[in-house]
């Protein structure tokens, strides 16, 4: 497994490139990124958001409880701009747009589902609105069908949001069998490409980005190497 890379560090927090396959945090009984960072820093680190184990990319971890609370509030208030890259099986139409759904996460099934509004105008308990914007950056024709590289900007942060909403468009993420993907050549192709947030101590606007691995299906798209994700 690829090791984590520290992109930026202060006395209050770290920005890290999380490798695919490593859990964001755990209970201490298995390997996870939060424990690795604590060992490297010689102090407790706090995860203020999370990525699925098979999703890599940019994350921020706090070194103090006060910073964890401040950053956690920023995430909750949608004051943190998050951009993802993903590869879909098939190409969504139109080539760019906004997806608005109401999602329910079924803990027993371990996945999210879009839900419809009831006759009385309400939704089932626990369902939450989900909103994202996407743009098709490049397409590639392969022996197993079209693959499309998308840039996705989240307005909300629901469990499996990108995976669920893209699958609802009949364009599941490449390799995402849980949500209907049929490509067995990879795991769910989702990458946290950039984070933009305000340093809670200095008030400075910060932006960080990282490119996905040079492996299938990311290596189908030459534009990945030509652009630095998330920068102005």
Instruction: Read off the CATH number of the domain in which 185 is found.
Output: 3.30.2350.10
Q: What is the pLDDT of residue 124?
A: 95
Could you tell me if 31 and 108 lie in one domain?
no
Could you tell me if 35 and 142 lie in one domain?
no
- Under 8 Å between Cβ of 142 and 148: no
Tell me the two tokens of residue 53.
């184990």
Tell me the two tokens of residue 188.
């769910």
Could you tell me if 105 and 218 lie in one domain?
yes
Tell whether 229 is covered by a domain: no
Tell whether 85 is covered by a domain: yes
The span from the CA of 231 to the CA of 216, in Å, is 24
- For the stretch 138-172, pLDDT in tens is 999 999 999 999 999 999 989 999 999 999 999 99
Tell whether 232 is covered by a domain: no
Question: Which of 185, 176, 188, 88 is CA-nearest to residue 140?
Answer: 88
The domain containing residue 139 runs over which residues? Answer: 81-194+213-222
- Mean pLDDT, residues 39-59 taken together: 94
Report how many domains make up the chain: 2
Tell whether 182 is covered by a domain: yes
Could you tell me if 141 and 64 lie in one domain?
no
Tell whether 231 is covered by a domain: no
Could you tell me if 176 and 104 lie in one domain?
yes
Could you tell me if 45 and 89 lie in one domain?
no
- For the stretch 122-143, pLDDT in tens is 999 999 999 999 999 999 999 9
The span from the CA of 134 to the CA of 28, in Å, is 36
Paired with 58 in beta bridges are 17
Could you tell me if 66 and 43 lie in one domain?
yes
Q: What is the pLDDT of residue 226?
A: 58
pTM, two decimals, is 0.92
Out of 61, 77, 93, a domain closes at 77
Could you tell me if 57 and 94 lie in one domain?
no
> In sequence order, what are the residues at sequence separation of 6 or more whose Cβ sits closer than 8 angstroms to the Cβ of residue 103?
112, 113, 114, 115, 127, 128, 129, 130, 158, 159, 161, 164, 165
Could you tell me if 99 and 184 lie in one domain?
yes
Tell whether 93 is covered by a domain: yes
Could you tell me if 122 and 177 lie in one domain?
yes
Could you tell me if 37 and 139 lie in one domain?
no
Tell whether 199 is covered by a domain: no
Out of 59, 77, 95, a domain closes at 77
- Under 8 Å between Cβ of 209 and 192: no
- For the stretch 167-178, pLDDT in tens is 999 999 999 999
Could you tell me if 110 and 166 lie in one domain?
yes
Confidence of residue 232 (pLDDT cuts 50, 70, 90): very low
Confidence of residue 29 (pLDDT cuts 50, 70, 90): low
Q: What is the pLDDT of residue 27?
A: 74
């Amino acid at each position: 497994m690829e090791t984590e890379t520290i992109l930026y560090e202060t006395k209050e927090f770290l920005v890290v490139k999380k490798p695919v396959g490593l859990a964001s945090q755990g209970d201490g009984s298995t390997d996870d990124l939060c424990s690795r960072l604590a060992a490297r820093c010689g102090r407790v680190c706090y995860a203020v958001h999370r990525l699925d184990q098979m999703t890599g990319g940019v994350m921020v971890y706090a070194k103090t409880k006060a910073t964890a609370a401040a950053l956690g509030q920023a995430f909750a208030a949608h004051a943190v701009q998050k951009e993802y890259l993903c590869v879909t099986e098939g190409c969504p139409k139109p080539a760019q747009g906004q997806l608005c759904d109401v999602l329910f996460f079924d803990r027993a099934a371990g996945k999210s589902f879009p839900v419809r509004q009831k006759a009385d105008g309400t939704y089932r308990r626990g369902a939450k609105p989900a909103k994202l914007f996407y743009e098709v950056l490049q397409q590639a024709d392969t022996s197993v069908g079209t693959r499309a590289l998308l840039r996705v900007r989240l307005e909300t942060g629901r469990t499996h949001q990108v995976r669920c909403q893209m699958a609802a468009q009949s364009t599941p993420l490449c390799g995402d069998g849980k949500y209907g993907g049929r490509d067995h050549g990879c795991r769910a192709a989702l990458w946290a490409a950039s984070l933009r947030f305000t340093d809670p101590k200095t008030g400075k606007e910060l932006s960080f980005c990282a490119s996905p691995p040079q492996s299938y299906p990311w290596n189908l798209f030459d534009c990945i190497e030509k652009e630095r994700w998330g920068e102005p």
